[in-house]
Amino acid sequence: MELREPIERLIRNPKEFTKTVPFPDPSDIRLYDETLRDGEQMPGVCYTPQQKLEIAKAIAAVGVHVMSVGFPAASAGDRTTLQLIMEAKRAGELGDVEIVVMCRSSRSDIDVTVKTLRDVGIDPREVTFFIFSSGSDLHMKYKIGKTLLRFEGREESQWLDLPLEFYRNANIALQCDAIRHARACGVESIEFGAEDGSRGDVDYFIEYFKRGLEAGGARPAWPDTVGCLTPEAMRWYGSRIVNAMPKNMPLVAHLHNDYGLGTINAITATSCGFRVISVTAYGYGERAGNVKLHEYAVALRVLYGIDIPGFKYEKLRDLARFMERMSGIPMQQHEPIIGEKVFTHESGIHTHGVMIDRRMYEAVPTELVGAETSFVYGKHSGVALVEGTLRRREAWLGEAGVDVTMELAQRVTEEIKRLREERAASNANEEAIDVHRAAMEQLALSEDDVMTIAIALGRPVAIG
């Protein structure tokens, strides 16, 4: 149906309420994908280097600007991944996406990563090194405290007795030493940050960032490692950090989703002036995951009017199906924007409205995200949808000698409802869940598997 009035007169545009929110220029916003690093840290997820290369190609094709590809010092697999991805980038298969590798504030981590690159003829200047340490007092003293003691030449016996100030100062010194070492190894692009920023002292972080920049770092990263930020806290921290840094500094916000606030916190961070936003495909990541690429990009576009140049919004749903197959982790069908059934309608009230104009019950533009409106039939179906379906297939029914009438539509609707409830009474749903859980358990290793491996490797070998 063609509407007589402009749509703006019939429904309120959400951008009426967000048009005054300040944002960086859209061309300055950088989507920083961490699917290959944080995404793989989701329990039960594991990718081979070749699979990571395929994922990297798919994500680059969507239009992200930055991509973290792993932690080379942590595993041979991540070293191979880095080499494969850099070779693919040189071959023009990844566009101009910036590649990031992760290193602890450790000279040995940096040396391993530099060697990994040089072994395949890649100059370290072609890769960004993300060098990290800890940011909250809890992490500094009780997680990496012994490392900081060794770095400062102190005895381990002093661990619990030294004041927090010692660990804060040592942490900055360790970070700056690692940055300077990376620069001496030929690395030019250095991102740096510290875990658990959202539970750390903001003034300490500002000092930490300033010292890191002086040592040769280029891009500070501030994380909400355990996803405990509220939008109000994000604005409190974010505004202070942005105001204390050089103007137009490309600050990174790395946020998690433990309370389901990842997207709004990322949008808040952007409005504070953070220009590099960490995301993952579907939000894969440890615990409740990271900021979801699809939610952040589409919400910015539709609700705030921020269109990120070159981003392929229409590829998001295809990427979702691809990631399901690669990870083995299915997405909920009602996942915003990319869920298989979020543009599918059953309820009679809804289907009737959508058949008039899809905007009656769809706020996300299907054409923007590569989707189509569709219908399913079941307990909540209405006669209007069923009659419309019969009319659309009237020629086919005519060949079977069936005339389409309202009476027939009503009878068919009643039978659809009866049949759907009959199917619901079966145990098909439970069986489907059990099959998936069993498959995932076969992929994962249990504590019993660890014991079996230990026995096999550690049992004394009989001699003679």
pLDDT value for 464? 61
Q: Is 63 exposed, middle or buried (0-12, 13-18, 19+ CB in 10 A)?
A: middle
Q: Are 258 and 230 in contact (CB under 8 A)?
A: no
To the nearest 10°, report the CA torsion of 67, 88, 92, 116: 70
E strand or H helix at 184: helix 164-184
Rounded to whole angstroms, the maximal C-alpha distance in the chain is 95
pLDDT value for 257? 97
Q: Is residue 350 part of a domain?
A: no
Q: Is residue 44 part of a domain?
A: yes
To the nearest 10°, report the CA torsion of 6, 11, 15, 18: 150
pLDDT value for 446? 81
Amino acid (1-letter code) at residue 202: V
The closest of 82, 147, 151, 90 to 113, measured between CA atoms, is: 82
- In angstroms, the CA 134 to CA 104 distance is 10
Q: Are 291 and 264 in contact (CB under 8 A)?
A: no
What tens-digit pLDDT sequence spans the chain (464 residues)?
789 999 999 999 999 999 999 999 999 999 999 999 999 999 889 999 999 999 999 999 999 999 999 999 999 999 999 999 999 999 999 999 999 999 999 999 999 999 999 999 999 999 999 999 999 999 999 999 999 999 999 999 999 999 999 999 999 999 999 999 999 999 999 999 999 999 999 999 999 999 999 999 999 999 999 999 999 999 999 999 999 999 999 999 999 999 999 999 999 999 999 999 999 999 999 999 999 999 999 999 999 999 999 999 999 999 999 999 999 888 899 999 999 999 999 898 888 889 899 999 999 999 999 999 999 998 898 999 999 999 999 999 999 999 999 999 999 999 999 998 888 888 877 888 888 788 777 777 888 888 898 989 998 877 76
E strand or H helix at 382: none
Helices 202-215 and 231-244 sit at what angle, rounded to 10 degrees? 40
Which stretches of 328-401 are DSSP H helices?
348-356, 383-392, 394-399
Q: What is the domain range of residue 265?
A: 13-327
**Number of compact structural domains in the chain:** 1
Residue-level length of the chain: 464
Q: Which two tokens stand for residue 227?
A: 């996803």
- In angstroms, the CA 396 to CA 97 distance is 51
Q: Is residue 187 part of a domain?
A: yes
pLDDT value for 424? 84
- In angstroms, the CA 400 to CA 247 distance is 73
pLDDT value for 447? 86
Residue at token pair 């309202």:
406
Pairing state between β 98-104 and 66-68: parallel
- In angstroms, the CA 192 to CA 221 distance is 6
C-alpha atoms less than 13 angstroms from C-alpha of 298 in its C-beta half-sphere:
22
CATH number of the structural domain spanning residue 159: 3.20.20.70
C-alpha torsion sign, points 332, 337, 343, 349:
positive
Q: Are 116 and 85 in contact (CB under 8 A)?
A: no
Please tell me what DSSP assigns to residue 290: B
Q: Is 463 exposed, middle or buried (0-12, 13-18, 19+ CB in 10 A)?
A: exposed
